Amino acid sequence: MVKSGKLRSGSGAKLKRWKKGHSSDSNPQTSRFRQAAKSRFFSRPSAKSDLTVDALKLHNELQAGPLEVGAGARKDAQMEEEPDERLSERTSGTFLSGLSDCSNLTFRKVQRFWESNSAAHKEICAVLAAVTEVIRSQGGKETETEYFAALMTTLEVVESEESQAAVAYLLNLVMKRVPAPVLQSKFSDTTKAFMDVMSKQASSDTSSALRWILSCLATLLRKQDVSVWSYPSTLQAYHGLLSFTVHSKPKVRKAAQQGVCSILRGSSFLFAEDAPSHHPAAVTTAKFCVKEIEQAGGSKEDTTTLHVLCLLKELMATFPLGAVKSCCETLLRVMTLSHVMVTASAMQAFHRLFSGKPSASSLSAELNAQIITALYDYLPSENDLQPLLAWLTVMEEAHVHLASLQSSLSLGHLPRLFSAAMSCLLSPHTQVVAAATNTLKSLLTECVAPHMEDIGPITATASAGNPSYVCKMFRIVEEGLSYRFHASWPFVLQILGCFYRVAGKRAHPIMTKSLQSLSDLRSTPQFPFRGELDLAVGGAVESMGPEVVLAAVPLNITGLNDDLEFPRSWLVPVIRDHVKNTCLGFFASYFLPLATTLKQRAEELEQEGKKLEAKVYQTLQIQIWTMLPGFCTGPVDLIASFKGVARTLGTAINERPDLRLTVCQALRTLINKSCSTAEERAELGRFSKNFLPILFNVYSQQPAEGESGTYRMAVLDTIKVYLTVTDLQLICTFLQKAFDRLTSTESVEFTRLAVMDLVVAMAPFVDESTMAKTFELIRPYLEAKEPGMQKKAYRALEEMCGAETDECKSFVLSNLETLKVVLLDTLKNASSPAKRPRLKCLIHIVKRLNEEHKGFITALLPEVIICTKEVSVGARKNAYSLLVEIGSAFVRFCGNKKDAMEEYLALVYAGLTGSVTMITCTVLALTRLVFEYKDSIEVSSMEQLLHNICLLLSSRTREVVKAALGFIKVILFIMDPKALGSHVTVMMEGIGNIKDDVRRHFRTKLKNVFTKFIRKFGFELVKSMLPAEHHKVLTNIRKAEARNKRRKQATDQQEDLESEEEAPKAKSESIEDILAESDSDLSEDEGKPRNGPKKLGKRKGKAWLKEGAGDDPLNFLDPKVSQRVLATNPALKKTTKVEHGFKVTSDGRLIIREDDEEDAKGKDREEMDDILEEAGVKTKKSQKRKFQDDNFDDDMDVEPQLKYKAGGSGIHRPLGQRQDVGADYKSKKGKGDVKKKGKLDPYAYIPLKKDQLNRRKRAKLHGQFKGMVRGAQKGAQSGKKMQKKKRKA
């Protein structure tokens, strides 16, 4: 016999247990019975069921509970509760049925958190039931006011502490919803009752009633009017509440502190129109806090001080100015105790005060400045990590708030903080250095940058006022370039770069020396921080402009007797990457002559045969030209300077092929990003008569043999952009000249195609009459036999029809009939390349059609359907878009979506009676329409369509079957399984009727469809509906699905095991996190196993004294002695090695593998892409491209793959890669090895090692050999069995 409640030995492994963290999962992994039920869902029951209507009624009556909530109460509940917390009528009755049938939803919390084994909860339910019974016996409506009155009466009557706690808990719930006038009228009686209970419970061991009474008293005081606070009784009650904020019991203390905070910050009169600036009780609260701290201060019992500091942290921002001042003085006094926890709590209070952005009535600028000055006396040592981080954070918030109150006062205090923060850069802790850097950058951007315009120019001679403060700050930061800061130079360079960006425009006279220092550092051999230095100088270029930077740090490149090392050439790419909003005239006056000189010097050296030097100069002058787009980004002197460079730019486009891309980019940048005013656009447009002919000629000239023509697309883009600022009449003139050249007999084919591109570019920018003339001129080309010309003619028509200008819209409307006739007449002659722009034209035209033109759409439909099988991807995409647009047009005509779809689909159905190609295209079109308008198609129409498509599956033509299978895949995706269930038989019959050769051809696609069917309807149902020849595939699918499921489960289990390991500590962000971190884990007995968690009392006051350097004694009278008190043990060093859990390559890159979740998402994404491709929403990739994309990121953790593979001897031998021994013998299908012809047998050879001679390790080696032999014997036996089976067969 097996004892009850225990399991047989060995049965534990068979049981399935919850994984860690998954005990509340709603969907179990095993769903055997669900799958069985799903497979039988669509089959009729074989026997008569016992389920009847009467049985269902009886079941419902048995399940119904006694609690019924009225409609009004339900409405209130829905208004009060969150959506996920609402209780249904039946659910709410199942918790406390028989204990309490209270219908007031205020007490839903009692029901929701019911614990049957809790005596306190039972007492609460008993009290609630009794009070409810009393209210009902007196004919009450169970309102909140009635419950409040009944519970107050009960509170005065009950004697036991348990009952008092229950009544107090219910009162706490109901008082929050009692109307304020009721609480105001009953204030004195209610207060007296609460105070009596508080006095009795104050010295009691149990605190359950006390915490709820305190909460009730806070709610009562919060609802009172401002006039009540002038009565002594009110203040007496408040002081009673206040006295419990330092109670020894945490729950009582927390309830009191929360109550005081809610009163001072959330009283109802504080939100009225004539609200006072501060609560009347704020001053008395501040006095209480100060008194408590002073009484406890200096003693070893610091818990009271900590409790009051926690309260002050929340309340200081609500105090008036005088109270805030006295509290801050007290905080500063208590920080002199050098108690680590007290100091940390005080810093938290200061941080909350400043970050709360209190008004000047609570924290004036003068008081803010005084606190800042005082906090310098509490600057921690640079070796004390956490306190120093907290101090920096508090000081940053203090200065930012001071800047919002009074900017000049803030600037006056900043130099001292800059000096302190810069000294932090000498700290050995990287965290301190990074925090100091971020503090300085924040101060520059938030305190200095907003006021730089008001400060005015800053010079080195400034002796007073705001300019002198900025000058002092920069001198302090500039000091960071000295050698003693060399370990922190990358951080210093960040600060310098930020300073340049913020103040460089106004303060560049004082910054030139630092730029020269940076230049000297940059020229130092092997300088390790060149990237950071370049960014810093780039900040100077952005704000000061290149002219000022080059005046401080000359380029030293003249083109004559230059040092060929060009030590300052690094400035060229820095200026190129950062120059903007500067003077374009400086480029014309300085860089253009320099580039010309360098070009001439390069030509001279080329003639002298010095090709290397010539190449250097040539490269340098091209780099100088690459600055031009930056100078063209928002130039401040565009109108004055553009005329000086326009001629040079035109010459460069015409004569310098190597500069065309750069100059074209500069022109596009000028027009797109720099023409903010009409005057600037007019200035650029004035030169269009010069630039456009040059651009036209460059584009229409055929590149010389061997010359790349890549610049032509950039030139064409520049033409299109320049046309936006060109005068209309000038464009019309250019267009007429283009047509003259187009019709010229001298023009070759390349020229005519290029000119047609120019016509396409100019067509949408002309007026309506010219547009109509253009249409007539390109009309013959719509039927041209040359595909290229025909395509470009359609492109011109597309631009005219699709542009959003008023001229284009009026052109389409006025020439609509002509366009319809032309597009229908040219249908027969439209070439395949022209289909994409032709369909795009039709899309633009169909958008503007009304019901009168329905015949035109009907005539178009066959062409659109046929184009779904076009070779061009763009044509297919446009065909599908046009089908959808026609559907929208039908909806526009009919008004009703369902009627419109009926009419539209009836027209499309006609294609199913055509040729094989027409049938295929029609099925593709129907697939897209069903996907797009699935909600607008009638059920009967969908059923009829599905039946017709299933009939097509029996076709002998592969293309038809392929399209029909795609339709079924889309149907499986968009239709509801229940609606689809009635059509499973039809679809299965259709798939079963597929011809054998077609079935073999589409076996992969069929397998995909079968997988979807099995997932939706179950294996058994699908198998029963398909012929026997498909069963093998179905079994294979089931095995593959089961295998994938097992793999996923194994992976999940592995992840669960890994998740049980200790997670790394998250980085501290808030001030509380910074101060909460301690160094307890770096205790002196580090490395020893800890038997249990450390008690807080043993370490909360732990601190260290830092001795003097060398024989220097510690001077306790030193004013900076507080910096010698450390919260961190100075004798211990922190390890800087970070364990991130990732493998690292030889060059330091992390190897991060994608987890299974991402793989699953990838599979879902692939499946969705497959559906979208079948529906014509996405274009299908070619197999080659798909293969490349799929394998693009597989080997990111190794070196980039090259086409060349090492192999052989000598220089071709493979280096640094050990081949996997035996990899050639691995089986591709299963486990184990295979024999190969002409190669040795795949035996496992054991390498000889020196360790094998060791007698102690011999036993281990013997075990390895035994296991190897046993495995070989086992494999041989299984092989023999397989041989016997084959022979018998």
Query: What is the rounded average pLDDT of the residues 38-53?
Result: 55
Q: Coil, strand or helix: which one is 1120?
A: coil
Query: What is the rounded average pLDDT of the residues 1071-1080?
Result: 48
Range name among 81-90, 987-996, 1273-1282 with the lowest pLDDT average? 81-90
pLDDT of 909 reads: 87
What span, in angstroms and rounded, lies between the C-alpha atoms of 893 and 887? 10
**CB 1101, CB 341: distance < 8 Å:** yes
Q: Is the dihedral of CA 88, 94, 100, 101 positive or negative?
A: positive
Query: What is the rounded average pLDDT of the residues 66-77?
Result: 35
Name the residue among 241, 345, 351, 364 with its Cα closest to residue 293: 345
> Tokens 């009304």, residue?
850
What span, in angstroms and rounded, lies between the C-alpha atoms of 543 and 445? 14
pLDDT of 20 reads: 62
What is the pLDDT confidence band of residue 665, given thresholds at 50, 70 and 90? very high
Dmax (CA) of the chain: 118
What is the pLDDT confidence band of residue 586, given thresholds at 50, 70 and 90? very high
Query: What is the rounded average pLDDT of the residues 475-481?
Result: 93
Asked whether residue 696 carries a pLDDT value surpassing 50, the answer given is yes
Asked whether residue 1192 carries a pLDDT value surpassing 90, the answer given is no
pLDDT: is 61 or 769 the higher one? 769
Which run of H or of E encompasses 1157? Answer: helix 1156-1174
Asked whether residue 1089 carries a pLDDT value surpassing 70, the answer given is no
Asked whether residue 1034 carries a pLDDT value surpassing 50, the answer given is yes
pLDDT: is 1270 or 334 the higher one? 334
pLDDT one-digit tens code per residue, 337-386: 878 888 888 999 999 999 988 888 889 999 999 999 999 998 888 777 88
What span, in angstroms and rounded, lies between the C-alpha atoms of 918 and 921? 5
pLDDT of 112 reads: 66
Asked whether residue 1075 carries a pLDDT value surpassing 90, the answer given is no
Asked whether residue 197 carries a pLDDT value surpassing 70, the answer given is yes
What span, in angstroms and rounded, lies between the C-alpha atoms of 150 and 175? 12
Asked whether residue 46 carries a pLDDT value surpassing 60, the answer given is no
Name the residue among 961, 962, 884, 986 with its Cα closest to residue 930: 884
Query: What is the rounded average pLDDT of the residues 1097-1112?
Result: 53
Structure tokens at 1261: 């080696």
Asked whether residue 524 carries a pLDDT value surpassing 80, the answer given is yes
Q: Is the dihedral of CA 1000, 1003, 1009, 1011 positive or negative?
A: positive
Query: What is the rounded average pLDDT of the residues 1069-1090?
Result: 45
Asked whether residue 493 carries a pLDDT value surpassing 90, the answer given is yes
Name the residue among 153, 154, 220 with its Cα closest to residue 182: 220
Query: What is the rounded average pLDDT of the residues 646-674?
Result: 92
What is the pLDDT confidence band of residue 871, given thresholds at 50, 70 and 90? confident
Q: Where are the alpha helices (DSSP H) in 933-995?
A: 939-952, 958-974, 977-981, 984-992
pLDDT of 519 reads: 92
Q: What are phi and psi of 1226, to 5 degrees?
A: -70, 140
What span, in angstroms and rounded, lies between the C-alpha atoms of 436 and 427? 10
pLDDT of 1123 reads: 60
Asked whether residue 1074 carries a pLDDT value surpassing 60, the answer given is no
Query: What is the rounded average pLDDT of the residues 1163-1175?
Result: 68
Asked whether residue 307 carries a pLDDT value surpassing 80, the answer given is yes
**Where in 1033-1181 does DSSP place strands (E)?**
1104-1105, 1125-1126, 1143-1144, 1150-1151
Which run of H or of E encompasses 1150? Answer: strand 1150-1151
Alpha carbons within 13 A on the beta-carbon side of 1004: 0
Name the residue among 488, 500, 372, 506 with its Cα closest to residue 429: 488
Range name among 525-539, 922-936, 1169-1183 with the lowest pLDDT average? 1169-1183
pLDDT of 339 reads: 82
Q: Which amino acid is at 316?
A: M
Query: What is the rounded average pLDDT of the residues 219-243?
Result: 90
What span, in angstroms and rounded, lies between the C-alpha atoms of 933 and 888? 10
β-pairing, 1125-1126 vs 1104-1105, is antiparallel
Asked whether residue 446 carries a pLDDT value surpassing 80, the answer given is yes
Q: Which amino acid is at 189?
A: D
Among residues of the chain, what percentage have pLDDT more than 70?
76
pLDDT: is 545 or 978 the higher one? 545
> Tokens 């029951």, residue?
45
**CB 462, CB 516: distance < 8 Å:** no
Query: What is the rounded average pLDDT of the residues 922-934?
Result: 89
Asked whether residue 439 carries a pLDDT value surpassing 70, the answer given is yes
Asked whether residue 713 carries a pLDDT value surpassing 60, the answer given is yes
pLDDT one-digit tens code per residue, 566-578: 888 899 999 999 9
Among residues of the chain, what percentage have pLDDT more than 90?
25
What is the pLDDT confidence band of residue 126, given thresholds at 50, 70 and 90? confident
Q: What proportions of the chain, in percent to the nearest 5, are helix, strand and coil?
A: 70, 0, 30
Asked whether residue 16 carries a pLDDT value surpassing 90, the answer given is no
pLDDT of 693 reads: 93
Other Cβ atoms within 10 Å of 496 Cβ, number:
28
pLDDT of 543 reads: 92
Range name among 388-392, 763-767, 1017-1021, 1187-1191 with the lowest pLDDT average? 1187-1191
